[in-house]
Amino acid sequence: MWLAPSSLFRARRARRLMLGQAGQIDLAANRAVTSDHLSVPSSICMHPDPALPPDRRNMTVASAVVDLTACRLWVTDGPPCEAEYHSYDRQA
């Protein structure tokens, strides 16, 4: 699996943001974390860095949140800062 050099930073940032909302994590809280733009262009929600050659640019193209209690999957078709989450229920 290929990881962007900023993956470790982004993972720590996401963990810190989630811990700040412990006990209150819902879809909106997840969206806030996955849409975080601190340290653009290497933020959690990544957008292409025009300073890089085209073959080195990265972008978040989707986001997924799983609600294990409700057995529901929430997915975006695009960066979470722009795209809406659509829900899918577990098929019985």
- Cβ(55)–Cβ(9) below 8 Å: no
Residue 72 token pair = 């529901």
Using CB under 5 A as the criterion, what x/- string covers residues 2-41 for binding Zn ion?
A: ----------------------------------------
Task: Give the range of 9-17, 23-31, 42-50, 68-76 binding Zn ion by CB under 5 A.
Answer: 42-50
* Shortest separation between residue 92's beta carbon and Zn ion, angstroms: 35
**Interface with Zn ion includes 45 (CB under 5 A)?**
yes
* Shortest separation between residue 53's beta carbon and Zn ion, angstroms: 21
CA dist., res. 11 & res. 43, Å (int): 10
Residue 62 token pair = 């989707």
- Cβ(48)–Cβ(57) below 8 Å: yes
DSSP state of 58: -
Binding stretches for Zn ion (CB under 5 A): 45, 79, 81
